């Protein structure tokens, strides 16, 4: 085998190893983000019983100091009590209190920062019967 072929193989191997290592780093970093695992009420649900709060659970802990959470009516007017917080006993759960809501469609808008420092934003809707 010529010197040139050995050099090309060595370079291709180094590039392949580097790509695999880089992919592992990117994949590992994504695991630290906070993704919604469930909510009360569930996204898209029709609620027939009165609610006193809206809760969202994430697949990992979120920072207590960087939570934004609000519940809006169809006119985008805030209807929650403005007390959104991370649960004291469960850092994967955030909640906000709401008054008795009249029938209609509501939207929950949230923003959190995962413990790894990555920000996640999202929203979901539900209806009250």
pLDDT, tens only, 61-85: 999 999 999 999 999 999 999 999 9
pLDDT in tens, 100-124: 999 999 999 999 999 999 999 999 9
Q: Are 32 and 114 in contact (CB under 8 A)?
A: yes
Q: Is 54 left (phi over 0), alpha (psi -120 to 50) or beta?
A: beta
Give helix then strand counts, H and E, for the chain. 1, 8
């Amino acid at each position: 085998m010529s010197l040139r072929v050995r050099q090309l193989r060595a370079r291709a191997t180094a590039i392949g190893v580097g790509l695999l290592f880089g992919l592992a780093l990117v994949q590992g970093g994504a695991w630290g983000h906070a993704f919604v695992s469930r909510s009360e009420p569930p996204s898209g649900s029709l609620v027939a019983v009165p609610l006193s709060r809206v809760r969202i659970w994430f697949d990992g802990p979120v920072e207590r100091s960087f939570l934004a959470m609000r519940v809006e009516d169809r006119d985008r007017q805030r209807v929650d009590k403005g007390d959104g917080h991370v649960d004291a006993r469960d850092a994967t759960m955030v909640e906000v209190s709401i008054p008795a809501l009249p029938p209609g469609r509501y939207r929950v808008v949230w923003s959190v920062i995962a413990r790894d420092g990555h920000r996640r934003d999202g929203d979901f809707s539900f209806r009250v019967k």
